Amino acid sequence: MTTDEQTSGAGENVSLALLGRDRAPFIPMAFRDDGQMIDRAADPKRWRDIVNADTVIVTQWDGGADIPPDDDGVATCSCSMPTTVRQMLDALDVRPGQRVLEIGTGTGYTSALLRDRVGPTGHVVSVEVDKALADGARENLAAVGVDVQVVTGDGLDGCEDGGPYDRVFVTCGIRTVPTAWLAQTVTGGRIVMPWGTRFTPWHDVLLPLVKADDGSASGQFGEGLSYMKARSQRNTWPVFPEGWLTAGARAELDVPASTLDIGTTGFRPLVVGFALPDVVTTVLDDEDGEKTRYLYRAGAAGESCAAVTYKDKAPTRTCAYGPDDLASEFVAAVEWFRDHGRPEAEGFGLTVTPDGQRVWFGSPTGPTQPRA
């Protein structure tokens, strides 16, 4: 235990115990926790207690250095829970002497952990899109004597040196896996990331991909995670076309509300969302218990949107507008989910090729949801 920990009276340091390195040098002197400002100078014990705990610490808000005084700010960088970082590092299976590319430097803490694991003969390059974060990470790493090459740039393009890398470690949520990562990873190499869909923007899964001889990469989904999305892949709620509810095709379906009410959190909407590429959604309910799920997709052929309205002991009503019948797609996905025993995310996986990505069920040669 360090002098700082002893004088603070803090309990077990989870980051040190689980990951072998204290995250304190990478945490700002002041941050906000549950709406309260935690200042190391004013309350060193409280500051250290939180840093030692197995919790997320937001280290940047709104893409800038200022800490908002309330909960209105958007978190744009954090130091993740040590248990989550451990899960991802275990999936990465990094070895001494390897070359590792990190996407999203953040505070520099995971960069240091990667450097610890590759040892003196290995090499770590970390790419950070935010210049202020990249500069701060370089300072943090230098202060603790860790040699990591931090590059300011868009990590979705890979790294300018072209690799190749034995491992790619991604610290932001991804919806579409960049083909640049495939090109810069050696055959047999691993790419580990939080992956999810636009359908459930705050619920991702751990995805370890292994690159095959043919240049593709596949992997089965692991445990649920919640990571800030890559900045260019964040959700933005769309403006629906004017008059779409009047112009849309209407129908009544013999599908009960109990089937369609999959909620907005947990594994059910996550799995259903696998079948609805690029669809964003929200659910509104009224005082009488009637719920309406709104869906939207901006595709190459134009905008598609739908409303699916359901209530116990009442017919389900749908309205679909645009080139894609999103109401039917949603109902088909939910029925597939029900008919296949309501499988959890671990039953699915992803294959990425230079031409795109595909979610599969059971194995890489298995069907694409919701095909029965």
Query: Does the pLDDT value for residue 370 go beyond 70?
Result: no
What residues form DSSP beta bridges with 209? 191
What is the per-residue pLDDT for 5? 43
Enzyme catalytic residues: 80
Degrees, nearest 5: CA angle 20-26-29: 135
Provide the CATH topology of domain 82-233.
Rossmann fold (3.40.50)
What is the per-residue pLDDT for 372? 41
What is the per-residue pLDDT for 230? 86
Architecture of domain 244-339: 2-Layer Sandwich (3.30)
Specify whether the CB–CB gap between 102 and 110 falls below 8 A: yes
Total residue count of the chain as it appears in this document: 372
pLDDT band at 67 (very low <50, low <70, confident <90, very high): confident
What is the per-residue pLDDT for 106? 96
Burial of 247 (0-12, 13-18, 19+ CB in 10 A): exposed
**217-220 and 316-321: which strand pairing?**
unpaired
Query: Does the pLDDT value for residue 259 go beyond 70?
Result: yes
Mean pLDDT of 146-171: 95
Q: Could you tell me where in the chain the CATH 3.40.50.150 domains are found?
A: 82-233
Query: Does the pLDDT value for residue 353 go beyond 60?
Result: yes
Give the alpha-carbon dihedral of 323, 319, 361, 102, to 10 degrees: 70
Query: Does the pLDDT value for residue 269 go beyond 60?
Result: yes
What is the per-residue pLDDT for 8? 41
State pLDDT tens for residues 224-258.
998 888 888 877 788 899 999 999 999 999 999 99
Mean pLDDT of 80-105: 98
Which of helix, strand or coil describes residue 109?
Answer: helix
Peptide bond into 269 cis (omega under 30): no
pLDDT band at 35 (very low <50, low <70, confident <90, very high): confident
What residues form DSSP beta bridges with 168? 101, 191
State pLDDT tens for residues 174-190.
999 999 999 999 999 99
Count Cα atoms within 13 angstroms, Cβ side, for 249: 11
Q: Could you tell me where in the chain the CATH 3.30.310 domains are found?
A: 244-339
Which of helix, strand or coil describes residue 17?
Answer: helix
Count other C-beta atoms under 10 Å from residue 3's C-beta: 7
pLDDT band at 371 (very low <50, low <70, confident <90, very high): low
Task: Specify the DSSP element, H or E, that contains 48.
Answer: helix 44-52
- How far is residue 193 CA from its own chain's centroid? 7
What is the per-residue pLDDT for 291? 96
What is the per-residue pLDDT for 366? 80
Spatial distance between the Cα atoms of 226 and 206, rounded to a whole number of angstroms: 9
What is the per-residue pLDDT for 10? 52
Residue type, 170: V
What is the per-residue pLDDT for 188? 98
- Closest by Cα among 248, 270, 284, 282 to 342: 270
pLDDT band at 7 (very low <50, low <70, confident <90, very high): very low
Residue type, 290: E
